[in-house]
Amino acid sequence: MEKRIFDTGEDTAAALAAELYNRIAEVQGEVYIALSGGSTPTLLFSILSADYSQKIEWSRVKFFWVDERAVPPEDVQSNYRMTAETLLNHINIPDTNVFRIRGESPVKKEVLTYAEIIRTNVPFVNGLPVFDIILLGLGDDGHTASIFPDQMELLKSKEICAEAVQPQSGQTRMTLTGPVINNSRSVYFLVCGKNKEDMVKRILNKDPRYPASFIQPNKGHLYFYLDKEAAGE
C-alpha cells in the first residue's frame, strides 16, 4: 500500500491524473478501468478532460463503473451522468468503450446483466474479471463502492455485481463486489477533505468495522491519493 499526499484536492487529483496517464501508457492494448461516482472524482475527471483529452489514447480505454445508483442516466444522482458531464463528453472515446450500469433497469435483473457484460468484455484471471485500474472513493462512514458497513457480506460475495442499499437514504444501488475489486491490478483511492480525516486514519489502520479496510488487491497495487486535510497533516 502506498500513500501519496498533496497540498490541495486539486493537486491530488492532478497527480492522480498524471499517474493514470502513465499507467495507461504502460499497458499494451486495451486498458480496463472501473470508475467510482460521488463528488470527489469530478476533480479528477475535469483535469483529465482539460489536460489529457489529446494525450491519452482513449480508443484503448474501456470504462466500467464500480457502482451506480438505481436512477436513470439523466438523474442528477447518476454516477454515469456525472462522468459524462465531467469526462466522457470531453474526450474522444468510442461509445462502444463505455459500459454503463443501467440505473433505470430493475436492479435484480441489471446486476445479472452487468455481470454478463463484464464476463464478455473484461479479461478473467483466477476465475474473476481483472481490471487494470479501479478508482475508489471513501465515504465518511467507511464505505467504498456501494459496500456499506451494514452489508459487509458484499466483500465476500460470489457475484461480480450485487444489489446494495444506501443505509441513510434507503436508495438502491448496484456495486462491484469485494472479490472483483481485489482481483484488479491497481486500486486507487482518491480521498480529499477534512471530513474524511478520521475515517482515512481508521482505514489505513485496517479497522475491521469498515468495508474500505478490506480492499487489498490480491496481487495488485493499492494507492491512497490524499490531500493534506484527509491525511490529517
Positions touching ligand 6PG (CB under 6 A) are 36-40, 66-67, 79, 137-139, 143-146
Q: Give min distance, CB of 130 to ligand 6PG, in A.
A: 20
What residue number has its CB nearest to ligand 6PG?
Answer: 137
**Dist CA 173 CA 146 (whole Å):** 7
**Residue 67 or 197 having the CB closest to ligand 6PG:** 67
Write out the three cell numbers for 126.
483466477
Contact of 9 with 227, CB cutoff 8 Å: yes
Q: Give min distance, CB of 193 to ligand 6PG, in A.
A: 7
**Dist CA 142 CA 166 (whole Å):** 12
Three-state DSSP class for 154?
helix
Q: Give min distance, CB of 117 to ligand 6PG, in A.
A: 18
What does the DSSP assignment read for 95-142? GGGB----TTS-HHHHHHHHHHHHHHHS-EETTEE--SEEEE---TTS
**Dist CA 160 CA 77 (whole Å):** 23
**Residue 92 or 169 having the CB closest to ligand 6PG:** 169
**Dist CA 165 CA 39 (whole Å):** 19
Q: Give me the helices (H) in 139-232, please.
A: 178-181, 197-204, 228-231
Q: Give min distance, CB of 66 to ligand 6PG, in A.
A: 6
**Residue 27 or 193 having the CB closest to ligand 6PG:** 193
**Residue 40 or 184 having the CB closest to ligand 6PG:** 40
**Residue 27 or 49 having the CB closest to ligand 6PG:** 49
Q: Give min distance, CB of 92 to ligand 6PG, in A.
A: 25
**Residue 97 or 144 having the CB closest to ligand 6PG:** 144
Q: What are residue 163's DSSP bridge partners? A: 174
Write out the three cell numbers for 22.
502513465
